[in-house]
C-alpha cells in the first residue's frame, strides 16, 4: 500500500511569489492535515480537511489556504511569500477525523529567497 505522497520535494521561490504544494493521502483516508516545521519553531498545525471541507485552521494568515479534491488529495497554496515561510511542509492523512493515527508524507522543503 502506497504511503502519503507529496510534491514537489523541494521548491525555491522568491519573496512575493505564490507556492503550490500537493499531497496525496493513503487510499481510503478522508482526512488530510497540513503542518509547517520552520527552523527553530517546531511543528505547527496549518489546516485540516475532511470530506472536501476545511474543518480547522491553525494560527496562520489568510495567505495560507488550501483545498481538498473529490479524490481526497489536497493542495496547499501560499500567496505573497515571505522569507519566514521557508520551512518543511508536511502533509498527513488519517482514516477519519480526530484522534486517529496520522500518517505523514516526506514533506516539501520550501525555500523563499
Q: Which residues, 6 or more positions from 108, have their beta carbon under 8 angstroms from its beta carbon?
A: 6, 7, 8, 9, 10, 11, 21, 88, 89
Interface positions, 26-85, toward another protein (CB under 8 A): 31, 33, 35, 37, 42-45, 48, 50, 55-56, 58
Q: In angstroms, rounded to a whole number, what is the distance separating the alpha carbons of residues 5 and 105?
A: 5
| Closer residue to another protein (CB): 13 or 57 | 57
Q: Is 109 in the site for another protein (CB under 8 A)?
A: yes
Q: How far is the CB of 22 from another protein (least distance, A)?
A: 17
| Closer residue to another protein (CB): 37 or 79 | 37
83: helix, strand or coil: helix
- The residue within the footprint of another protein, chosen from 19, 78, 90, 112 (CB under 8 A), is 90
Structural Rg of the chain based on CA atoms: 13
For cell 481526497, what's the residue?
72
Contacts with another protein, residue ranges (CB under 8 A)? 31, 33, 35, 37, 42-45, 48, 50, 55-56, 58, 88, 90, 92, 97-104, 106-107, 109
Amino acid at each position: 500500500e502506497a504511503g502519503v505522497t507529496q510534491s514537489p520535494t523541494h521548491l525555491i521561490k522568491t519573496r512575493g511569489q505564490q507556492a503550490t504544494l500537493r499531497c496525496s493521502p493513503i487510499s481510503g483516508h478522508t482526512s488530510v492535515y497540513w503542518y509547517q516545521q520552520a527552523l527553530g519553531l517546531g511543528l505547527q498545525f496549518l489546516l485540516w480537511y475532511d470530506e472536501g471541507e476545511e474543518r480547522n485552521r491553525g494560527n496562520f494568515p489568510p495567505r495560507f489556504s488550501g483545498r481538498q479534491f473529490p479524490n481526497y488529495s489536497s493542495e496547499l497554496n501560499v500567496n505573497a511569500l515571505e522569507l519566514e515561510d521557508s520551512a518543511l511542509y508536511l502533509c498527513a492523512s488519517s482514516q477519519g477525523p480526530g484522534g486517529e493515527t496520522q500518517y505523514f508524507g516526506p514533506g516539501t522543503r520550501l525555500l523563499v529567497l
